[in-house]
Amino acid sequence: MTSTELLYEGKAKKVFATSDPDVVIVEFKDDATAFNGEKKGQIAQKGVANAAITTRLMNFLASHGIPTHFHKQLDERRLAVARLQMVPLEVVVRNRVAGSLEKRMGVAEGTVLEAPVVELYFKNDALGDPLLNEDHIRAMGIASEELVAQLKKQALEVNRLLQGFFDDRQLILVDFKLEFGMQGGQLLLGDEISPDTCRLWDKKTLRKMDKDRFRRDLGGVEDAYREVLERVLS
């Protein structure tokens, strides 16, 4: 499959058109950003790790009934995926308090949530990806009530599956972000699932194994991505 036109370059990925109008190629970069692009850097081999981790997790989810955009891995940095009409929401699922939730709830990092918390953010860099409630989403015409319910239900099912997957690999899935899109009237899970989009902590030591090492200058960033890759492939 040959890449043609560059359709979009994001902070961590490039998306190319292909000869098939329903398929695009996603190329994973080593570029890393945080705090809405204010912090920039590179994480060596991150693109390679995230492409492989995403491949494994999308295959795992698909085998458990979650419709995803994933077609196949083309090489170490490139995946062929379904071209989606993206829903402009970031769907975040949280099992423990971390990141922005600490300040929103006034609760310490690591606090276990009795039930998962789902958050919907407007995917809009210029506005800083603000949190939305369902009235906002309706007023903005982003998604119907039915679609919002479907997104939340699907995200919780992905959470249930991934929690088990990571737990088997001695990792705690603290929280993660999903993006969805439509193709041919069907809602598909899109984007990536990786230490860029998940908070993953070692089950025994609670060591952070994700992009927080980059965000918070904790060191050992490349090692963490490599370690997650090894555990995910095991």
Q: Which residues bind a copy of itself (CB under 8 A)?
A: 101, 103-107, 113-120, 122, 124, 126-128, 130-136, 138-140
Nearer to a copy of itself, 95 or 197 (CB): 95
Q: What is the 3-state secondary structure (H, E, C) of 99-136?
A: CHHHHHHCCCCCCEEEEEEEEEEECCHHHCCCEECHHH
Nearer to a copy of itself, 134 or 168 (CB): 134
Residue 99 CB, nearest approach to a copy of itself (Å):
13
Residue 146 CB, nearest approach to a copy of itself (Å):
17
Residue 171 CB, nearest approach to a copy of itself (Å):
22
- Dist CA 154 CA 178 (whole Å): 10
Nearer to a copy of itself, 128 or 164 (CB): 128
Which residues have C-beta within 8 Å of that of residue 57, sequence separation ≥ 6? 162, 165, 193, 194, 232
Residue 114 CB, nearest approach to a copy of itself (Å):
7
Nearer to a copy of itself, 110 or 220 (CB): 110
Our measurement of the distance from residue 20's CA atom to the centroid of its chain's CA atoms, rounded to an integer in Å, reads 25
The SS3 of residue 30 is coil
